[in-house]
Structure 1
Amino acid sequence: MATQTISSILATEPWYYDGDRQCIKFSIDGTGEIWDGHETAFTLAASFDWRALNPTALDEQLAITGSRTAKTLTHLSLEITSTERRCPCPPGWNFDENTLERIRMTTSRFKEGAFQPRTFSVRLESGKFAKPFMEDHGGVEKFGDQARSYALRLVFDRCPWPSLEQYINGSIWGDKMKVTRFVCRETGLYNSWMGSCIAI
């Protein structure tokens, strides 16, 4: 059975709360991005530096099985420090320079404390998961064949997004503090029987 290091699992692809507009990305070089928004626009593009407080933990080899039952693979302590770096435009989107600058996390929008290192306890799980947004907004069944299944989930002990208190002029989109779970590695329809029923 093929194995992967924890660092490569974290950095292989984005981790989604909802879609491209609500996700967190880790890069193997110790940088990362947080993207947030709503149905029609992005509202925040925050870059960060990250590291494991126990660096050797990232070299641990894990085998990802196809089990549908949630299983904890490992626990991590991650330090995340927000920066003012501009995030590159996500694939599939065509942002101009003004838009990227408007949504960037800067000291003109956020208080100094938002750029201090923060430590998170993070749980990496394998199993069968839907996007957490669906679970938090009426349940997976409500979304029918829009619900996709994912093999991996990251669970933070608290939200990695900047809190409302860290905005200088407040966030017009409300508090995102419930955003603590993220999924990746899509495997197909969450409810395959539902897709069959719709086809009939």
Structure 2
Amino acid sequence: MNEALRSILSGGDEWYHNSDGRHIKFNKDGTGELWCRSNFNYWILAVIEWKAIKPPHGPSQIVEFPNQVPNTVWNKAPQLLGHLDIEITLTKRLPKVAETSVLAQGNGINERNLTDDAFQTRLFTVRIEKGNFVEPACIGHSNWRYELRLTFDKSPYPPREQWKDTEYGPDQGQYWNIVEFVSRHVPGLEKQGKPMNVAPTGLSACAVS
């Protein structure tokens, strides 16, 4: 099961919270990318290193996920594919696409606005589901549908205390609260009913702030 979940996680597609600037990607070679854009500012544009690990909890322990809502909110429940424990390390390396780009020149990008603690290895438990989803930042404002959802037990973005300056984009975007991502766009999926995810309380839909 873990091998199958790793294959889904690193299937080649990005996992979007918002396809206009906030996504995470896992490559099969243990690398990946984490992006965080606010309007025209990039706060995080970095290579990550990741690996699946043996669960630190027993099989009977229930892992709590933030923003989890009853499946009866929409028309039917998504299919749970499984849980996976992973380690993620944010690095200071830029993705190749950004190495020669003006995107990497921002004063607040990566280590310029993150403390050293943000680059330490962190442990996550993720849940992978199959169903009918929209980008979490665009619930109620988009018909672009995806069939996979990835939910973290805590955000893959650094917590607030690991940002040097949160006054503008970070405090407005509340990136450290983002835990839900979707992947694998399926044309026509919107014809099969309402989306199975709902907007977290207090967050505006389809925002890139």
TM-score range for the pair, normalised by the shorter chain length = 0.7 to 0.9
Q: CA deviation at 1:88?
A: 2.4
In structure 2, the residue corresponding to 1:188 is in which secondary structure? coil
Q: Is the 8 A contact 2:16 2:183 kept in 1?
A: yes
Q: Which structure: larger Rg?
A: 1
Q: d(CA) in 2 for partners of 1:101 and 1:29?
A: 28
**Which residue pairs with 1:170 in the alignment?**
166
Q: Is the 8 A contact 2:42 2:109 kept in 1?
A: no
Q: CA deviation at 1:171?
A: 5.6
Q: 1:85 aligns with which of 93, 103, 125?
A: 93
Q: d(CA) in 2 for partners of 1:167 and 1:88?
A: 24
**Which residue pairs with 2:78 in the alignment?**
70
**Does 2:88 match 1:105?**
no
In structure 2, the residue corresponding to 1:113 is in which secondary structure? helix
Q: Is the 8 A contact 1:78 1:119 kept in 2?
A: yes
Q: d(CA) in 1 for partners of 2:164 and 2:28?
A: 31
**Which residue pairs with 1:6 in the alignment?**
5
Q: Is the 8 A contact 1:86 1:101 kept in 2?
A: no
Q: d(CA) in 2 for partners of 1:24 and 1:132?
A: 13
Q: 1:20 and 1:54, CA in 2 relative to 1: closer, same or farther beyond 3 A?
A: farther
Q: CA deviation at 1:133?
A: 0.8
Matches within 5 A, 1:114-193: 114-135=118-139, 140=140, 143=141, 146-170=142-166, 172-173=168-169, 174=171, 175-189=174-188, 191-192=190-191
> Residue type of the partner of 2:187?
G
Q: d(CA) in 2 for partners of 1:6 and 1:76?
A: 7
Return 5+ residue gaps in structure 1 as ranges: 56-67, 195-200
Q: Is the 8 A contact 1:17 1:183 kept in 2?
A: yes
Q: CA deviation at 1:120?
A: 0.7
TM-score normalised by the chain length of structure 2: 0.70
Question: What percent identity do the matched residue pairs reach?
Answer: 31
In structure 2, the residue corresponding to 1:192 is in which secondary structure? helix
TM-score normalised by the chain length of structure 1: 0.73
Q: CA deviation at 1:193?
A: 8.8
Q: d(CA) in 1 for partners of 2:34 and 2:50?
A: 12
Q: 1:80 and 1:193, CA in 2 relative to 1: closer, same or farther beyond 3 A?
A: closer
The answer to which structure, 1 or 2, has the higher relative contact order (CA under 8 A, 6+ apart) is: 2
Q: Is the 8 A contact 1:111 1:168 kept in 2?
A: yes
In structure 2, the residue corresponding to 1:161 is in which secondary structure? coil
Q: How many residues align?
A: 166
CA RMSD of aligned residues (A): 2.6
- Structure 1 residues 125-165: Cα deviation after superposition (integer angstroms, max 9, x where no partner): 11111111123xxxx2xx2xx32111101000111101221
Q: d(CA) in 1 for partners of 2:9 and 2:167?
A: 28
Return 5+ residue gaps in structure 2 as ranges: 56-75, 194-209
In structure 2, the residue corresponding to 1:78 is in which secondary structure? strand
Q: 1:98 and 1:32, CA in 2 relative to 1: closer, same or farther beyond 3 A?
A: same
Q: CA deviation at 1:40?
A: 3.9
Q: d(CA) in 2 for partners of 1:80 and 1:19?
A: 21
